[in-house]
Amino acid sequence: MLLNNFSTPKQSLIIIGSNIITIFNDEKLEYVEIKKLYNSYNNLFGFLSYSYFMLGLDFLFIVGYIELNENGVIELCK
C-alpha cells in the first residue's frame, strides 16, 4: 500500500521509504548492500518482511532517490 494504512502503517511504502532514507542519513551512507540495509532496517524499526522492504526500495527507485549499480549495491542518486 502506497499511502498510510491505519491498521498497519508500518507497511505503507511511504513509511518504509522514509525509514530507509533515515538509515542512509543517520549512518551517512552513500551506498550499501541490500542485505546490510535490510538487517539495519529490522534492527532499527522492527521486523518487516523482505517483500515489503523490496517494495519500499522500488518506491525509492521510482521517485529517483536510489539506484542499483552494476555491483548490486544501492547508491543514493546525486
**Residue 49: left if φ>0, alpha if ψ -120 to 50, beta else—which one?**
beta
SS3 assignment, position 75: strand
In a domain, 62, yes or no: yes
Give the residues across from 67 on adjacent strands. Answer: 75
In a domain, 3, yes or no: no
In a domain, 64, yes or no: yes
Domain range holding 70?
9-76
For position 3, what pLDDT does the model report?
56
For residue 34, give the CATH number of its domain. Answer: 1.10.10.10
The C-alpha cell that represents 68 in the structure block: 542499483
Q: What's the domain count of the chain?
A: 1
pLDDT tens digits, 11-54? 889 999 999 999 999 999 999 999 999 999 999 999 999 999 99
In a domain, 4, yes or no: no
Q: pTM of the predicted model, to two decimals?
A: 0.89
Question: In sequence order, which residues have a C-beta less than 8 Å from that of residue 65 and are 6 or more positions away?
Answer: 17, 21, 76, 77
